[in-house]
Structure 1
Amino acid sequence: MVNNSDVFAFYTQNSLDKPSQLFETLSDSFYFAKNLNGRFVYANQLFLDHFKFDGLKSLIGKTDLDILPRSIGEKIQQDDQHIMKTGQAIANIVELIPGNSSKMRWHVTTKSPLLNRAGETVGIEGITRDLSLADKQLEPYSQFKNTVGFIQQNFSESIDISKLASQLHMSISTFERQFKARFACSPSQFIKKTRIAAACKLLREGQNISLTATQCGFCDQSYFTKEFKTLMGLTPKQFQKSLAASTHKIDFIK
Protein backbone atom coordinates (compact mmCIF):
# COMPACT_ATOMS: atom_id res chain seq x y z
CA MET A 1 0.00 0.00 0.00
CA VAL A 2 1.42 3.38 -1.06
CA ASN A 3 1.34 6.17 1.54
CA ASN A 4 3.80 8.68 0.07
CA SER A 5 1.93 11.97 -0.34
CA ASP A 6 4.05 12.91 -3.37
CA VAL A 7 2.61 9.97 -5.29
CA PHE A 8 -0.92 11.30 -4.85
CA ALA A 9 -0.12 14.95 -5.57
CA PHE A 10 -2.01 14.72 -8.86
CA TYR A 11 -5.17 13.66 -7.02
CA THR A 12 -4.93 16.48 -4.49
CA GLN A 13 -4.24 19.13 -7.13
CA ASN A 14 -7.15 18.01 -9.28
CA SER A 15 -9.75 17.56 -6.51
CA LEU A 16 -9.85 13.80 -6.91
CA ASP A 17 -10.36 11.11 -4.32
CA LYS A 18 -7.46 8.71 -4.00
CA PRO A 19 -7.94 5.43 -5.92
CA SER A 20 -9.96 2.82 -4.10
CA GLN A 21 -8.08 -0.03 -2.44
CA LEU A 22 -10.59 -2.27 -4.22
CA PHE A 23 -8.31 -2.06 -7.26
CA GLU A 24 -5.58 -3.81 -5.27
CA THR A 25 -7.78 -6.90 -4.90
CA LEU A 26 -8.01 -7.53 -8.65
CA SER A 27 -6.31 -10.81 -9.50
CA ASP A 28 -6.49 -10.71 -13.31
CA SER A 29 -6.85 -7.01 -14.16
CA PHE A 30 -4.65 -3.92 -14.19
CA TYR A 31 -6.10 -0.58 -13.08
CA PHE A 32 -4.33 2.58 -14.20
CA ALA A 33 -4.83 6.33 -14.41
CA LYS A 34 -3.04 8.93 -16.52
CA ASN A 35 -3.05 12.72 -16.68
CA LEU A 36 -3.94 14.85 -19.71
CA ASN A 37 -0.40 14.40 -21.05
CA GLY A 38 -0.73 10.62 -21.03
CA ARG A 39 1.63 10.19 -18.07
CA PHE A 40 0.82 7.62 -15.43
CA VAL A 41 -0.39 8.95 -12.10
CA TYR A 42 -1.49 5.64 -10.61
CA ALA A 43 -1.56 1.87 -11.22
CA ASN A 44 -2.48 -1.06 -9.04
CA GLN A 45 0.07 -3.56 -7.73
CA LEU A 46 -0.71 -6.16 -10.41
CA PHE A 47 0.20 -3.59 -13.08
CA LEU A 48 3.44 -2.73 -11.28
CA ASP A 49 4.36 -6.40 -10.90
CA HIS A 50 3.57 -7.18 -14.53
CA PHE A 51 5.83 -4.42 -15.85
CA LYS A 52 8.46 -5.01 -13.14
CA PHE A 53 8.30 -1.67 -11.35
CA ASP A 54 9.74 -1.59 -7.83
CA GLY A 55 6.89 0.63 -6.67
CA LEU A 56 4.30 3.16 -7.73
CA LYS A 57 6.74 6.05 -7.38
CA SER A 58 8.96 4.58 -10.11
CA LEU A 59 6.02 4.52 -12.55
CA ILE A 60 4.69 8.02 -11.96
CA GLY A 61 5.40 10.36 -14.89
CA LYS A 62 6.14 7.63 -17.41
CA THR A 63 4.09 7.10 -20.59
CA ASP A 64 3.07 4.00 -22.49
CA LEU A 65 6.02 4.56 -24.81
CA ASP A 66 8.34 4.06 -21.84
CA ILE A 67 7.03 0.57 -21.06
CA LEU A 68 5.63 -0.84 -24.31
CA PRO A 69 6.83 -1.34 -27.91
CA ARG A 70 6.37 1.86 -29.91
CA SER A 71 3.68 0.47 -32.23
CA ILE A 72 1.53 -0.57 -29.26
CA GLY A 73 2.25 2.55 -27.20
CA GLU A 74 1.33 4.91 -30.04
CA LYS A 75 -1.99 3.15 -30.65
CA ILE A 76 -2.83 3.36 -26.94
CA GLN A 77 -1.97 7.06 -26.89
CA GLN A 78 -4.24 7.69 -29.89
CA ASP A 79 -7.12 5.99 -28.07
CA ASP A 80 -6.40 8.04 -24.94
CA GLN A 81 -6.45 11.31 -26.87
CA HIS A 82 -9.77 10.37 -28.46
CA ILE A 83 -11.28 9.65 -25.05
CA MET A 84 -10.06 12.94 -23.55
CA LYS A 85 -11.20 14.93 -26.60
CA THR A 86 -14.68 13.40 -26.90
CA GLY A 87 -15.35 12.56 -23.27
CA GLN A 88 -16.54 9.13 -24.37
CA ALA A 89 -15.37 5.81 -23.00
CA ILE A 90 -13.97 3.05 -25.19
CA ALA A 91 -14.89 -0.48 -24.15
CA ASN A 92 -13.42 -3.91 -24.82
CA ILE A 93 -10.33 -2.98 -26.80
CA VAL A 94 -8.51 -6.23 -27.62
CA GLU A 95 -4.72 -5.87 -27.51
CA LEU A 96 -1.64 -8.07 -27.63
CA ILE A 97 0.75 -6.87 -24.92
CA PRO A 98 4.09 -8.36 -23.86
CA GLY A 99 4.03 -10.38 -20.66
CA ASN A 100 6.82 -10.85 -18.12
CA SER A 101 8.71 -12.80 -20.79
CA SER A 102 8.86 -12.03 -24.49
CA LYS A 103 5.58 -13.87 -25.03
CA MET A 104 2.64 -11.69 -26.15
CA ARG A 105 -0.59 -12.08 -24.17
CA TRP A 106 -4.16 -11.11 -25.02
CA HIS A 107 -5.67 -8.26 -22.99
CA VAL A 108 -9.07 -6.57 -23.07
CA THR A 109 -9.14 -2.90 -22.03
CA THR A 110 -11.92 -0.48 -21.16
CA LYS A 111 -11.03 3.19 -20.65
CA SER A 112 -12.99 6.31 -19.76
CA PRO A 113 -12.35 9.97 -18.89
CA LEU A 114 -11.03 10.59 -15.37
CA LEU A 115 -13.31 13.27 -13.94
CA ASN A 116 -12.70 15.47 -10.92
CA ARG A 117 -15.40 16.54 -8.46
CA ALA A 118 -16.42 19.39 -10.77
CA GLY A 119 -17.01 16.98 -13.63
CA GLU A 120 -13.97 18.16 -15.57
CA THR A 121 -11.77 15.74 -17.49
CA VAL A 122 -8.32 15.66 -15.91
CA GLY A 123 -7.04 12.46 -17.51
CA ILE A 124 -8.16 8.94 -18.24
CA GLU A 125 -8.54 5.75 -16.21
CA GLY A 126 -8.94 2.18 -17.32
CA ILE A 127 -8.96 -1.48 -16.52
CA THR A 128 -7.07 -4.03 -18.59
CA ARG A 129 -7.90 -7.69 -18.11
CA ASP A 130 -5.14 -10.21 -18.79
CA LEU A 131 -7.05 -13.10 -20.34
CA SER A 132 -4.35 -15.62 -19.50
CA LEU A 133 -4.69 -14.72 -15.81
CA ALA A 134 -8.47 -14.84 -16.10
CA ASP A 135 -8.25 -18.38 -17.48
CA LYS A 136 -6.09 -19.41 -14.53
CA GLN A 137 -8.68 -18.01 -12.14
CA LEU A 138 -11.37 -20.13 -13.79
CA GLU A 139 -9.36 -23.35 -13.96
CA PRO A 140 -10.44 -24.66 -10.53
CA TYR A 141 -14.08 -24.27 -11.55
CA SER A 142 -13.89 -25.66 -15.08
CA GLN A 143 -13.80 -29.24 -13.80
CA PHE A 144 -17.34 -28.76 -12.47
CA LYS A 145 -18.70 -26.89 -15.51
CA ASN A 146 -20.73 -29.86 -16.77
CA THR A 147 -21.93 -30.65 -13.24
CA VAL A 148 -23.21 -27.12 -12.73
CA GLY A 149 -24.82 -27.13 -16.17
CA PHE A 150 -26.58 -30.41 -15.44
CA ILE A 151 -27.95 -29.08 -12.13
CA GLN A 152 -29.19 -25.88 -13.75
CA GLN A 153 -30.97 -27.81 -16.49
CA ASN A 154 -32.41 -30.56 -14.29
CA PHE A 155 -33.14 -28.88 -10.94
CA SER A 156 -36.84 -29.75 -11.21
CA GLU A 157 -35.99 -33.47 -11.14
CA SER A 158 -34.47 -35.66 -8.44
CA ILE A 159 -30.67 -35.35 -8.70
CA ASP A 160 -28.48 -38.19 -7.46
CA ILE A 161 -25.22 -36.87 -5.97
CA SER A 162 -23.53 -40.24 -6.44
CA LYS A 163 -24.15 -40.06 -10.20
CA LEU A 164 -22.70 -36.55 -10.34
CA ALA A 165 -19.62 -37.84 -8.57
CA SER A 166 -19.25 -40.85 -10.86
CA GLN A 167 -19.39 -38.61 -13.94
CA LEU A 168 -16.17 -37.01 -12.67
CA HIS A 169 -14.72 -40.37 -11.62
CA MET A 170 -14.72 -39.35 -7.96
CA SER A 171 -15.95 -40.92 -4.78
CA ILE A 172 -18.90 -39.12 -3.19
CA SER A 173 -16.74 -37.82 -0.34
CA THR A 174 -14.07 -36.47 -2.71
CA PHE A 175 -16.70 -34.93 -4.99
CA GLU A 176 -18.45 -33.19 -2.11
CA ARG A 177 -15.19 -31.96 -0.58
CA GLN A 178 -13.84 -30.51 -3.84
CA PHE A 179 -17.20 -29.02 -4.82
CA LYS A 180 -17.50 -27.25 -1.46
CA ALA A 181 -13.92 -25.98 -1.68
CA ARG A 182 -14.75 -24.23 -4.95
CA PHE A 183 -18.33 -23.05 -4.42
CA ALA A 184 -18.43 -22.61 -0.61
CA CYS A 185 -21.45 -24.89 -0.34
CA SER A 186 -22.17 -28.59 -0.69
CA PRO A 187 -23.66 -30.03 -3.91
CA SER A 188 -26.99 -30.49 -2.12
CA GLN A 189 -26.97 -26.87 -0.97
CA PHE A 190 -26.10 -25.73 -4.49
CA ILE A 191 -29.05 -27.70 -5.90
CA LYS A 192 -31.33 -26.18 -3.28
CA LYS A 193 -30.14 -22.64 -4.06
CA THR A 194 -30.66 -23.27 -7.78
CA ARG A 195 -34.23 -24.40 -7.10
CA ILE A 196 -34.96 -21.40 -4.88
CA ALA A 197 -33.55 -19.00 -7.48
CA ALA A 198 -35.87 -20.55 -10.09
CA ALA A 199 -38.77 -20.30 -7.63
CA CYS A 200 -38.10 -16.60 -7.10
CA LYS A 201 -38.43 -16.01 -10.82
CA LEU A 202 -41.76 -17.87 -11.02
CA LEU A 203 -43.14 -16.12 -7.92
CA ARG A 204 -42.19 -12.73 -9.37
CA GLU A 205 -44.17 -13.67 -12.47
CA GLY A 206 -47.21 -14.29 -10.29
CA GLN A 207 -47.34 -18.08 -10.37
CA ASN A 208 -49.09 -19.74 -7.42
CA ILE A 209 -46.97 -21.21 -4.65
CA SER A 210 -48.07 -24.82 -4.96
CA LEU A 211 -47.28 -25.05 -8.66
CA THR A 212 -43.98 -23.26 -8.13
CA ALA A 213 -42.98 -25.82 -5.52
CA THR A 214 -43.73 -28.71 -7.89
CA GLN A 215 -41.96 -27.17 -10.89
CA CYS A 216 -38.85 -26.39 -8.85
CA GLY A 217 -38.32 -29.93 -7.59
CA PHE A 218 -39.78 -29.75 -4.07
CA CYS A 219 -41.81 -32.70 -2.85
CA ASP A 220 -44.58 -30.57 -1.35
CA GLN A 221 -45.55 -26.99 -0.57
CA SER A 222 -44.80 -27.27 3.13
CA TYR A 223 -41.20 -28.35 2.56
CA PHE A 224 -40.80 -25.70 -0.13
CA THR A 225 -42.02 -22.99 2.24
CA LYS A 226 -39.61 -24.10 4.96
CA GLU A 227 -36.58 -24.17 2.63
CA PHE A 228 -37.55 -20.91 0.93
CA LYS A 229 -37.76 -19.07 4.26
CA THR A 230 -34.42 -20.51 5.37
CA LEU A 231 -32.65 -19.09 2.33
CA MET A 232 -34.68 -15.95 1.61
CA GLY A 233 -35.76 -14.88 5.10
CA LEU A 234 -39.41 -14.76 4.01
CA THR A 235 -42.04 -17.34 3.18
CA PRO A 236 -43.07 -17.54 -0.51
CA LYS A 237 -46.32 -15.75 0.36
CA GLN A 238 -44.49 -12.95 2.19
CA PHE A 239 -42.08 -12.72 -0.75
CA GLN A 240 -44.92 -12.17 -3.21
CA LYS A 241 -46.59 -9.63 -0.92
CA SER A 242 -43.36 -7.67 -0.61
CA LEU A 243 -43.12 -7.51 -4.41
CA ALA A 244 -46.74 -6.42 -4.76
CA ALA A 245 -46.27 -3.70 -2.15
CA SER A 246 -43.02 -2.61 -3.84
CA THR A 247 -41.57 -1.85 -0.42
CA HIS A 248 -38.25 -3.42 -1.33
CA LYS A 249 -36.80 -5.78 -3.85
CA ILE A 250 -35.29 -9.08 -2.71
CA ASP A 251 -32.77 -10.52 -5.10
CA PHE A 252 -30.28 -12.35 -2.94
CA ILE A 253 -30.13 -15.86 -1.58
CA LYS A 254 -28.24 -16.31 1.67
Structure 2
Amino acid sequence: MSPLLQHPLVKSLFGLFEHMPELYFFVKDEEGRFHYANVALIERLGLPNREAIVGTTDFDRYPREIATVLLSSDQEALETKSPVVDRLEVLYNQVGILEWFSTTKYPVLTDSGKAVGVVGFTRNVSKQRNLYLQHSAASKVIDFISRNPDCLLTIEDLARKFSISSRQLHRQFKELLGITPQEFVLRSRIHAAAATLRSSDESIASVSEKFGFCDQSAFTKRFQKVIGITPAKYRKNSG
Protein backbone atom coordinates (compact mmCIF):
# COMPACT_ATOMS: atom_id res chain seq x y z
CA MET A 1 0.00 0.00 0.00
CA SER A 2 1.18 3.52 -0.80
CA PRO A 3 2.67 5.30 2.26
CA LEU A 4 0.29 8.17 1.49
CA LEU A 5 -2.67 5.87 2.10
CA GLN A 6 -1.31 4.95 5.53
CA HIS A 7 -1.41 8.55 6.76
CA PRO A 8 -3.79 8.87 9.76
CA LEU A 9 -5.90 11.56 8.05
CA VAL A 10 -6.37 9.46 4.93
CA LYS A 11 -7.06 6.24 6.84
CA SER A 12 -9.66 7.98 8.99
CA LEU A 13 -11.64 8.97 5.88
CA PHE A 14 -11.62 5.65 4.00
CA GLY A 15 -14.55 4.10 5.82
CA LEU A 16 -16.51 7.36 5.85
CA PHE A 17 -16.47 7.96 2.10
CA GLU A 18 -16.03 4.52 0.54
CA HIS A 19 -19.72 3.72 0.25
CA MET A 20 -21.30 7.17 -0.14
CA PRO A 21 -22.62 7.25 -3.73
CA GLU A 22 -23.30 10.99 -3.70
CA LEU A 23 -19.68 11.89 -2.85
CA TYR A 24 -16.57 11.28 -4.94
CA PHE A 25 -13.54 10.73 -2.70
CA PHE A 26 -9.91 10.76 -3.86
CA VAL A 27 -6.31 10.85 -2.66
CA LYS A 28 -3.51 12.40 -4.75
CA ASP A 29 0.19 12.88 -4.17
CA GLU A 30 2.05 16.18 -4.53
CA GLU A 31 2.46 15.58 -8.28
CA GLY A 32 -1.28 15.23 -8.80
CA ARG A 33 -1.18 11.44 -9.28
CA PHE A 34 -4.15 9.50 -7.96
CA HIS A 35 -3.42 6.95 -5.25
CA TYR A 36 -7.01 6.14 -4.40
CA ALA A 37 -10.62 6.80 -5.41
CA ASN A 38 -13.82 5.48 -3.89
CA VAL A 39 -16.30 3.27 -5.73
CA ALA A 40 -18.52 6.20 -6.72
CA LEU A 41 -15.67 8.06 -8.44
CA ILE A 42 -14.43 4.93 -10.21
CA GLU A 43 -17.92 4.35 -11.58
CA ARG A 44 -18.43 7.99 -12.61
CA LEU A 45 -15.19 7.92 -14.58
CA GLY A 46 -16.23 4.67 -16.25
CA LEU A 47 -13.14 2.80 -15.08
CA PRO A 48 -13.11 -1.00 -14.78
CA ASN A 49 -11.54 -1.06 -11.31
CA ARG A 50 -9.66 1.02 -8.74
CA GLU A 51 -6.26 0.01 -10.10
CA ALA A 52 -7.08 1.80 -13.37
CA ILE A 53 -6.88 5.23 -11.71
CA VAL A 54 -3.72 4.69 -9.65
CA GLY A 55 -0.81 6.68 -11.05
CA THR A 56 -2.93 8.71 -13.47
CA THR A 57 -3.63 12.45 -13.29
CA ASP A 58 -6.48 14.74 -14.29
CA PHE A 59 -4.60 15.40 -17.53
CA ASP A 60 -5.25 11.78 -18.51
CA ARG A 61 -9.03 12.27 -18.59
CA TYR A 62 -9.86 15.98 -18.95
CA PRO A 63 -8.97 18.67 -21.50
CA ARG A 64 -5.77 20.48 -20.55
CA GLU A 65 -7.59 23.70 -19.63
CA ILE A 66 -9.85 21.96 -17.11
CA ALA A 67 -7.08 19.71 -15.75
CA THR A 68 -4.91 22.78 -15.18
CA VAL A 69 -7.64 24.38 -13.05
CA LEU A 70 -8.00 21.18 -11.00
CA LEU A 71 -4.25 20.94 -10.49
CA SER A 72 -4.06 24.58 -9.40
CA SER A 73 -6.46 23.94 -6.50
CA ASP A 74 -4.34 20.90 -5.52
CA GLN A 75 -1.28 23.14 -5.49
CA GLU A 76 -3.11 25.81 -3.51
CA ALA A 77 -3.86 23.31 -0.73
CA LEU A 78 -0.28 22.00 -0.80
CA GLU A 79 1.41 25.40 -0.81
CA THR A 80 -0.80 27.08 1.80
CA LYS A 81 -1.10 23.88 3.88
CA SER A 82 -4.73 24.85 4.31
CA PRO A 83 -7.97 23.33 3.02
CA VAL A 84 -9.66 24.49 -0.15
CA VAL A 85 -13.35 24.43 0.74
CA ASP A 86 -16.38 24.23 -1.57
CA ARG A 87 -14.46 25.22 -4.70
CA LEU A 88 -16.84 25.31 -7.67
CA GLU A 89 -15.59 23.25 -10.63
CA VAL A 90 -17.05 22.21 -13.97
CA LEU A 91 -16.24 18.74 -15.29
CA TYR A 92 -17.27 16.62 -18.27
CA ASN A 93 -19.35 13.53 -17.56
CA GLN A 94 -19.08 10.26 -19.50
CA VAL A 95 -21.14 11.54 -22.45
CA GLY A 96 -19.35 14.86 -22.83
CA ILE A 97 -21.82 17.06 -20.94
CA LEU A 98 -20.44 19.52 -18.43
CA GLU A 99 -21.71 19.27 -14.87
CA TRP A 100 -21.12 21.43 -11.81
CA PHE A 101 -19.26 20.10 -8.77
CA SER A 102 -18.31 21.51 -5.39
CA THR A 103 -14.93 20.22 -4.23
CA THR A 104 -13.14 20.34 -0.88
CA LYS A 105 -9.47 19.39 -0.54
CA TYR A 106 -7.24 19.01 2.52
CA PRO A 107 -3.44 18.88 2.46
CA VAL A 108 -1.86 15.71 3.82
CA LEU A 109 0.98 16.78 6.13
CA THR A 110 3.82 14.74 7.61
CA ASP A 111 4.83 15.07 11.27
CA SER A 112 7.44 17.60 10.16
CA GLY A 113 4.78 19.69 8.41
CA LYS A 114 5.67 18.80 4.82
CA ALA A 115 2.71 18.61 2.43
CA VAL A 116 2.89 15.28 0.58
CA GLY A 117 -0.53 15.08 -1.02
CA VAL A 118 -4.18 16.06 -0.94
CA VAL A 119 -7.27 14.20 0.16
CA GLY A 120 -10.61 15.46 -1.00
CA PHE A 121 -14.17 14.89 -2.01
CA THR A 122 -16.45 16.39 -4.60
CA ARG A 123 -20.21 16.36 -5.09
CA ASN A 124 -22.45 17.12 -8.02
CA VAL A 125 -24.28 20.42 -7.51
CA SER A 126 -25.65 20.81 -11.04
CA LYS A 127 -29.20 21.14 -9.73
CA GLN A 128 -28.31 23.62 -7.00
CA ARG A 129 -28.16 26.75 -9.11
CA ASN A 130 -28.15 29.05 -6.09
CA LEU A 131 -24.53 28.00 -5.48
CA TYR A 132 -23.33 29.83 -8.56
CA LEU A 133 -25.65 32.79 -8.97
CA GLN A 134 -22.56 34.99 -8.98
CA HIS A 135 -21.92 33.63 -12.47
CA SER A 136 -25.55 33.20 -13.48
CA ALA A 137 -25.14 34.38 -17.08
CA ALA A 138 -22.16 32.13 -17.75
CA SER A 139 -23.89 29.20 -16.04
CA LYS A 140 -26.94 29.67 -18.28
CA VAL A 141 -24.75 29.72 -21.38
CA ILE A 142 -22.93 26.59 -20.20
CA ASP A 143 -26.22 24.79 -19.55
CA PHE A 144 -27.64 25.91 -22.90
CA ILE A 145 -24.63 24.83 -24.97
CA SER A 146 -24.23 21.57 -23.05
CA ARG A 147 -27.81 20.68 -23.96
CA ASN A 148 -27.70 22.14 -27.47
CA PRO A 149 -24.15 21.52 -28.75
CA ASP A 150 -25.33 21.66 -32.37
CA CYS A 151 -26.63 25.21 -31.88
CA LEU A 152 -24.63 27.50 -34.17
CA LEU A 153 -25.20 30.81 -32.39
CA THR A 154 -22.16 33.08 -32.16
CA ILE A 155 -20.75 34.20 -28.81
CA GLU A 156 -22.28 37.62 -29.43
CA ASP A 157 -25.68 35.98 -30.04
CA LEU A 158 -25.34 33.96 -26.83
CA ALA A 159 -24.39 37.05 -24.85
CA ARG A 160 -27.47 38.89 -26.12
CA LYS A 161 -29.68 35.87 -25.46
CA PHE A 162 -28.66 35.85 -21.80
CA SER A 163 -28.48 39.63 -21.33
CA ILE A 164 -24.76 40.05 -20.79
CA SER A 165 -21.99 41.75 -22.72
CA SER A 166 -19.51 39.63 -24.64
CA ARG A 167 -16.70 41.03 -22.48
CA GLN A 168 -18.45 40.09 -19.22
CA LEU A 169 -19.24 36.63 -20.56
CA HIS A 170 -15.59 36.14 -21.49
CA ARG A 171 -14.48 37.19 -18.00
CA GLN A 172 -16.93 34.86 -16.25
CA PHE A 173 -15.86 31.90 -18.38
CA LYS A 174 -12.21 32.55 -17.59
CA GLU A 175 -13.00 32.72 -13.87
CA LEU A 176 -15.11 29.55 -13.89
CA LEU A 177 -13.38 27.29 -16.39
CA GLY A 178 -10.09 28.93 -17.23
CA ILE A 179 -11.06 28.98 -20.91
CA THR A 180 -12.88 31.37 -23.26
CA PRO A 181 -16.52 30.97 -24.31
CA GLN A 182 -15.31 30.20 -27.84
CA GLU A 183 -13.12 27.35 -26.59
CA PHE A 184 -15.96 26.00 -24.46
CA VAL A 185 -18.36 25.99 -27.42
CA LEU A 186 -15.77 24.28 -29.61
CA ARG A 187 -15.05 21.58 -27.05
CA SER A 188 -18.75 21.01 -26.41
CA ARG A 189 -19.33 20.47 -30.12
CA ILE A 190 -16.38 18.10 -30.37
CA HIS A 191 -17.52 16.02 -27.39
CA ALA A 192 -21.07 15.89 -28.75
CA ALA A 193 -19.70 14.89 -32.16
CA ALA A 194 -17.72 12.12 -30.47
CA ALA A 195 -20.90 10.87 -28.79
CA THR A 196 -22.64 10.87 -32.18
CA LEU A 197 -19.80 8.90 -33.76
CA ARG A 198 -20.09 6.33 -30.97
CA SER A 199 -23.84 5.93 -31.15
CA SER A 200 -24.70 6.21 -34.85
CA ASP A 201 -23.62 5.23 -38.35
CA GLU A 202 -23.82 8.82 -39.56
CA SER A 203 -20.90 9.68 -41.84
CA ILE A 204 -18.01 11.73 -40.48
CA ALA A 205 -18.71 14.40 -43.09
CA SER A 206 -22.34 14.62 -41.96
CA VAL A 207 -21.35 14.81 -38.28
CA SER A 208 -18.83 17.51 -39.14
CA GLU A 209 -21.48 19.61 -40.87
CA LYS A 210 -24.04 19.00 -38.11
CA PHE A 211 -21.77 20.55 -35.50
CA GLY A 212 -20.82 23.59 -37.53
CA PHE A 213 -17.46 22.76 -39.10
CA CYS A 214 -16.87 24.18 -42.55
CA ASP A 215 -15.24 21.02 -43.89
CA GLN A 216 -14.21 17.55 -42.75
CA SER A 217 -10.52 18.46 -42.73
CA ALA A 218 -11.06 21.27 -40.22
CA PHE A 219 -13.26 18.99 -38.12
CA THR A 220 -10.63 16.24 -38.10
CA LYS A 221 -7.91 18.68 -37.04
CA ARG A 222 -10.00 20.08 -34.17
CA PHE A 223 -11.24 16.65 -33.12
CA GLN A 224 -7.72 15.27 -32.89
CA LYS A 225 -6.57 18.27 -30.85
CA VAL A 226 -9.36 17.81 -28.29
CA ILE A 227 -9.81 14.02 -28.20
CA GLY A 228 -6.27 12.98 -29.13
CA ILE A 229 -7.08 10.81 -32.17
CA THR A 230 -8.85 11.29 -35.50
CA PRO A 231 -12.64 10.85 -35.82
CA ALA A 232 -12.15 7.74 -37.96
CA LYS A 233 -9.86 6.10 -35.42
CA TYR A 234 -12.15 7.14 -32.57
CA ARG A 235 -15.14 5.49 -34.25
CA LYS A 236 -13.12 2.35 -34.95
CA ASN A 237 -11.95 2.13 -31.33
CA SER A 238 -15.51 2.64 -30.08
CA GLY A 239 -16.96 -0.07 -32.27
The alignment's TM-score, normalised by the length of structure 1, stands at 0.45
Q: Over alpha carbons, which structure has the higher Rg? A: 1
